[in-house]
Amino acid sequence: MAKAIREVYGEALVKYGRDNPDVVVLDADVSSSTRSSLFQEVCPERFFNVGVAEANMSGMAAGFASVGTIPFVNTFATFISTLGLLPARIFGSYANLNVKFMGAYGGLSDAYDGPSHHSIEDLTIMRALPNFKVYVPSDETLTDWLVKHAIESKGPMYVRLSRDVFPSIYEPGTKFEDGKGKVLRQGKDATIVACGLMTGLALDAAKELASEGIAVSVIDMFTIKPLDTELLLEFARSTGAVVTAEEHSVIGGLAGAVSESLILGQAYVPVGFVGLDDCHAECGSYADLLRKYKLDVSAIVAKVRETVEKKR
C-alpha cells in the first residue's frame, strides 16, 4: 500500500534533515497536517512553530537562510502563495535567499475543507517569481528525492506536495535530474505532459487510449520551472499534439509554462489543457471532486482524443 505524500515528505525531512545541522523547519500551526511534526519529534531545537502567522514564517525563513541555515517553510500550499508571498518575493526571489517553501495539501487534496483550502493558483504565482524553482512530485520516490534535492541545491524553491496517496510510478532509487522531465511512455500520436497526481492518471489514460488505437507519450514534468523545454519540444514535434494535465487552474501553471515554451520554440502543434477551467471547486470527497471537475482518467482521454483530432 502506497503512503500518503505528506507522510513520505515528513519522513524524508527526518531522513535527510536530522543529521544536517543546517536544516531548520518552520510550520504555522499545521505541523500535524503537513507532517513536519515528524521532524519536530527528532529535532525540537531546529523546529519553529510560529503559530498561524504565515507571512512572519516566510520572513523568518529568509533570516535563517541569510545566516547559512536551510529553512523549510511548511503550511498549506494556498497560504504560501498568498500570505507568505510578500516575504517570498522580496527575500526569496529578489534577495535570492536559500529558502525552501513546501506547499502541503496541493490542488484539491484538502478536499472536504473546500475551495478556501484548495490550491489552484499556487504554481502560477510561484513560478512568476524570478530565481524560484518550482516542482510538483508525482509519487513517493520523487517526493523523497525532492526533499534531498532541496537540501543539496542552493536557491529559493517551491515544492507542491499533497495530502494524499499517489500511485507509485518510480522504483525506489530512481535517478532524477534538476530541470529534466521524465519520459514514462512513448507513443507517436500525442504527448501528455503531466505533473503531480495527474502523472499517474495520464499513464492510465495512455493505456486506455492505446486500446482504441491512439499511441501517446507521457512525460512527468515535475519540474515546472525550469521547464524541460528541450524534451517538450522534441516530443511536441515528434508526436504533433500536446495535452497538459495538472491539478491546478489551466491559467498560468503547467499549461501556461508549456504553452509559452511551445510558442517560443515555434512548435505550433494543437494543444489541450486538463485542469480547473478558471473556477473554484467545492467540498466533497477527493475522488468526487476530481471526477466532477474533469481531473480524472476519462477527462484526460477525452482531451487527448479532441486534441489529436485537431491534427487533421
List residues near other proteins by CB under 8 A: 21-22, 24, 45-46, 48, 50-51, 53, 55-69, 71, 86-87, 90-91, 94-97
Question: Minimum distance between the CB of residue 299 and other proteins, rounded to whole angstroms?
Answer: 40
- Closer residue to other proteins in complex, CB, 50/147: 50
Total count of residues recorded for the chain = 312
Question: Minimum distance between the CB of residue 95 and other proteins, rounded to whole angstroms?
Answer: 4
Question: Minimum distance between the CB of residue 145 and other proteins, rounded to whole angstroms?
Answer: 24
- Closer residue to other proteins in complex, CB, 154/188: 154
Question: Minimum distance between the CB of residue 58 and other proteins, rounded to whole angstroms?
Answer: 8
* Cα within 13 Å of Cα(164), Cβ side: 18
Which sequence positions are flagged as catalytic?
54
Q: How far is CA 196 from CA 123, 185, 245, in A?
A: 12, 16, 9
- Closer residue to other proteins in complex, CB, 28/126: 28
Strands 223-225 and 133-135: antiparallel
Cβ partners under 8 Å of residue 97, min gap 6? 62, 65, 66, 91, 156
- Closer residue to other proteins in complex, CB, 73/258: 73
- Closer residue to other proteins in complex, CB, 8/97: 97
Question: Minimum distance between the CB of residue 237 and other proteins, rounded to whole angstroms?
Answer: 38
Single-letter residue type at 153: S
- Closer residue to other proteins in complex, CB, 66/82: 66
Question: Minimum distance between the CB of residue 16 and other proteins, rounded to whole angstroms?
Answer: 16
